[in-house]
Structure formats: structure tokens, C-alpha cells
Amino acid sequence: MIEGIGVDVVEIGRVQRTIDTWGNDFLGKIFTDQELAYAHSKRNPVHHIAARFAVKEAVAKALSTGWSGGFRWKDVEVENDAAGKPSVVLYGRVKELLQGSKIIVSISHSENVVVAFALIER
């Protein structure tokens, strides 16, 4: 049974400007060490950082509560399997709320925009 659907669109240039302005303060607040290591292992790290940001937002929207309720950005960690397929690992309050649920995510990006989709099933 579908419990929630979330979609987010992120402008890559906006993420780059945020990084240029706030640097590690922004990155350290939003992303786990694993997410940053993955992004920085790629040719265009900002594309992968923007993609992870979009997934986190899409999951928050699928929860229908956004980031209220004590959620932290790092409670949703985006990872990729060997083939590049994205998935999420949950921690903290988000993990408690979604116990027993399955989250499916999809990411796509062009040179300028990232879109992420999240579906929660029970």
C-alpha cells in the first residue's frame, strides 16, 4: 500500500552557490560523511550533492510532515549500489516512523537540474 509520494526539483547552480557561501557548514549539516565521500569521488561532485539534497527533500515530502517532528537532515542517507541504483538508509526519528516501510527512490539530472522521487510503501 502506498503511504506517501514526494518529488523535489533542485537547481544545481543554486546548490553550488550555497556551497560557495557556506562551505563545510552547509555540507556538514546536511550530508553524512559517506554521502560527501561518494559525491567527491565523482567528476562533478555538485551534481551528486544536489541529487542527495533532492532525495532528502522528496523523502520529507513523502512523509507528509516535512522536516518537523525532530527529523534531522542526516536521518536520511542516500547511497548507491554497484550499478548506481540509489536507495536510502534511515536513522533517528525517520527510522522510527518508517519502521516496516519500504522507500523507493529515483534520481535524474541534467547539467542544470536534479529531480528526485520518493515512494513510501507499507
Average pLDDT of the segment spanning 111-116: 98
If you average pLDDT over residues 14-27, what whole number do you get?
98
Domain count, the chain: 1
Determine whether 118 is exposed, middle or buried from the number of CB atoms within 10 Å of its CB (0-12, 13-18, 19+). buried
With CA atoms as reference, report the closest residue to 35 among 105, 83, 88, 72: 88
pTM of the model: 0.95
> Whole domain around residue 26: which residue ranges?
2-121
Structure confidence at residue 68 (pLDDT):
74
Query: DSSP letter at 62?
Result: H
Q: What sign for the dihedral angle of Cα 35, 37, 42, 45?
A: positive
Residue 111 maps to which CATH number? 3.90.470.20
Which residues are 80's β-sheet partners? 86
Predicted confidence (pLDDT) per residue in 45-86, tens digit: 999 999 999 999 999 999 987 777 778 999 999 999 999 999
